[in-house]
Structure 1
Amino acid sequence: MNNVALTASAGKRLIRASCVALAASAALAIIPAHAAPGDAMAKTGTQYKADADMQVVLDELASMGGKPIETLTPAEARQQPTPADAVMSILKKKGKDTSPTALVPGVTSVDREITGAAGNIPARIYTPDGPGPFPVIVYYHGGGWVIADKQVYDGGARGLAKQANAIVVSSDYRRAPEAKFPASHDDAFAAYKWAAENAASINGDPKRLALAGESAGGNMAISTAVAVRDAGLVKPTHILAVYPVAQTGNLNTKSYVDSATAKPLNKPMIEWFVDKLLAKPEDKMDPRLDVVHAKLAGLPPVTIINAQIDPLREDGTMMQAALKKAGVKVDRKVYDGVTHEFFGMAAVVKDAADAQKYGGQALKASFGK
């Protein structure tokens, strides 16, 4: 499951930790816009309050009648309303143009198939206006390796094409449980290899490649960089990991506790994702999933973006520490008052626009002139 830094602004109030015990009976994970701090704690299981613009999205999503993902089959889960649906609904109610070119002017896209690890896989290629050739970012969507696709994560990928002035190859991949781990990671590596070999054919520069992803895709951006290093392929100039899954072995970190029942991502959902993903329990320790214990030395610089109200927040802390220990340059920002999935919401959430600019500038700087 994308400047504001790690400290909270005056408008983002930390709710007293003594209220944590109330979370055990939480039935809802959305904070009503009118809620008092105590009410917010009782209904969310999180210590933190959503910003007003983030809360509008959460309320809209709640109104769409989705069922808890962890109670559904994968096929049912893939049919539930998404945060992207909520954003589009808000824009339509405001009478806004929701066409891609209106939301992100100066970027066009085309859908096609590229070569995966076991056959072709769908991809969407975003191209900024201008003569090119452009740098190329290979981007992986989130969804716990089980749900979602490139369309659900269109907002983040399209925004990065604009902010980084780069072509973005947003690659789908085989999903679990139909294709267990490591099928998704194999497809992610294949997508990068395809981009390296075919960049010129899409008006890209094969010498300026980068990796990016959100949530499960953030995990694959990092693990793909490791695989690329080991295979001796063209090294990416940068990795952007937005609220990445850094490990699946410890679901009891501080943020898994304080955001256990957050929306749109909570601890039961992640447990459900992991159950569907793994062919055998010991796979959770595979360094492609447990990237905090992978051999990280020699990776390019990494930018990590996290949301405050998110079980994966501390995965970002752990990832940052592991990269620093390996001698890899890493920058990280935690955006207060927003939740998992905020990165693609630039049309309605201020911090999302800021996060896209922050991540895009890091990528753009890595490409040089």
Structure 2
Amino acid sequence: MRALLESLQALRPSPIENLSPAEARLQPSLADATRHRLRATGQSDAPRALAVVRDLEIPGRGGMMPARLYSPVDPSASGQVPQAPLPLIVYFHGGGFVIADLDTYDSSARALAAEAQATVLSVHYRQAPEHKFPAAHEDAYAAYMWALGNAQSLGADLTRVAVAGESAGGNLALNVALAAREARAPLPVAMALIYPLAGTDMTTTSYRDNAQAKPLNAAMMRWFFDQYAASPADLADTRMDVYGRAELRGLPKAIIVTAEIDPLRDDGQRLAARLQESGVQVVRQDYAGVTHEFFGVNPLVLGRAGDAQRFVAGELRSAFALPAPAVVIPARTGAATRIR
């Protein structure tokens, strides 16, 4: 982890909390540092190979949204033996609702597809400050409902759909399940919540202990909150202060990953406790010696990343293996999918 952070520092990132959002979106990420580290050690920095990686555009609340489809199997390949549709994971990337995109978190989506043997739909969404709360949350739910309505065309099984996300994306995945419960829409069979942003209390022990951590620190989190929230009331909303204010009963299995060197570590711990108190099945793993954003790192660079990827994928496979619920297919949206 130290060597990887040194590779990140070698790329000369500027403190995001001192930048404009446009400038922040141009800063090197841990994904860039991973490629730097692989090259420095004489290894290939090529992305993990999959049978299908295809860019799409799907309808969101504010218009068409970039998305990317990943699959370990190409059903259209010549000579491919027909098989049952794969499970589907609807994945939301991190970035504090402000920065990052599909490319930044490409390795996480590839790992989930390969390790869980599932189709992954990775979804971008409107970002702040151009689009304030709850724009990202509205887009995430729209993407989930679109995925349910179009599962067959994606080569996926409608009865085996999970949601997953990292950091802010973990918040979005959790809120997709909450919104589906409230709308009496089909629930995901599981939620993979990777160091999720689950509250807005910045006085927790992990915020204090990791106030100066990299690649995420307390000042960055304050900056993210300031960019996304239009007012203090937004931060008190149940979609942001989830462990403090949301009703969590009736949610599906939660798979929670936390990192030791992360301001959001206590968010995951508090969320796990609240979910268990609410009767929700929770499996949680905390990874020592690693930082926020470690999950998507190439395991050749960081072995703990491979451990976490296999843990999440194994728990997802267990959820997918349970008897399928009866699901009513939602009506399709009027907007067409675009393949780019």
TM-score (norm 1): 0.83
Cα RMSD for the two superposed structures: 1.1
How do 1:154-233 residues align onto structure 2 when only pairs under 5 Å count?
154-233=106-185
How do 1:123-162 residues align onto structure 2 when only pairs under 5 Å count?
123-129=67-73, 131-162=83-114
Partner of 1:289: 240
Q: CA deviation at 1:89?
A: 1.1
Distance in structure 2 (CA, Å) of the matches to 1:145 and 1:322 = 24
Partner of 1:259: 210
Partner of 1:88: 35
How do 1:263-274 residues align onto structure 2 when only pairs under 5 Å count?
263-274=214-225
Partner of 2:302: 349
| Identity between Structure 1 and Structure 2 (%) | 48
Q: CA deviation at 1:275?
A: 0.3
- Paired residues in the alignment total 312
- Amino acid aligned to 1:274: F
Partner of 2:23: 76
Partner of 1:66: 13
Q: CA deviation at 1:106?
A: 4.0
Single out whichever of 71-80 and 132-141 deviates more from structure 2.
132-141
Q: Is the 8 A contact 2:34 2:298 kept in 1?
A: no
Give 4+ residue runs of structure 1 displaced > 3 Å after superposition: none
Partner of 2:285: 333
Distance in structure 2 (CA, Å) of the matches to 1:106 and 1:272 = 36
Q: CA deviation at 1:56?
A: 1.1
Bigger share in helix: 1
Q: Deviations over 1:194-233 (max 9, x none)?
A: 1100010011011110000000000111111000111122
Q: Is the 8 A contact 1:135 1:167 kept in 2?
A: yes
Distance in structure 2 (CA, Å) of the matches to 1:262 and 1:333 = 20
2:62 maps to 1:110: no
Q: CA deviation at 1:91?
A: 1.3
Q: Is the 8 A contact 2:50 2:70 kept in 1?
A: no
Partner of 2:253: 301
| Structure 2 spans left out of the alignment, 5+ residues | 75-82, 323-340
Q: CA deviation at 1:92?
A: 1.9
Distance in structure 2 (CA, Å) of the matches to 1:316 and 1:243 = 6
Distance in structure 2 (CA, Å) of the matches to 1:142 and 1:132 = 31
Q: Deviations over 1:141-176 (max 9, x none)?
A: 000000001110111111011111101100000000
Distance in structure 2 (CA, Å) of the matches to 1:245 and 1:319 = 9
Q: Is the 8 A contact 1:343 1:352 kept in 2?
A: yes
- Amino acid aligned to 2:284: R
Single out whichever of 344-353 and 207-216 deviates more from structure 2.
344-353
- Amino acid aligned to 1:65: R
Q: CA deviation at 1:107?
A: 4.5
Secondary structure, in 3 states, of the residue corresponding to 1:200? coil
Secondary structure, in 3 states, of the residue corresponding to 1:201? coil
Q: Is the 8 A contact 1:246 1:319 kept in 2?
A: yes
Q: CA deviation at 1:83?
A: 0.4
Q: Is the 8 A contact 1:107 1:161 kept in 2?
A: no
Secondary structure, in 3 states, of the residue corresponding to 1:99? coil
Q: Is the 8 A contact 1:174 1:187 kept in 2?
A: yes
Q: Deviations over 1:299-329 (max 9, x none)?
A: 0010100000000000011101110111101
- Amino acid aligned to 1:349: L
| Structure 1 spans left out of the alignment, 5+ residues | 1-53
Secondary structure, in 3 states, of the residue corresponding to 2:44? coil
Q: CA deviation at 1:346?
A: 3.0
Distance in structure 1 (CA, Å) of the matches to 2:196 and 2:21 = 21
- Amino acid aligned to 1:312: L
TM-score (norm 2): 0.90
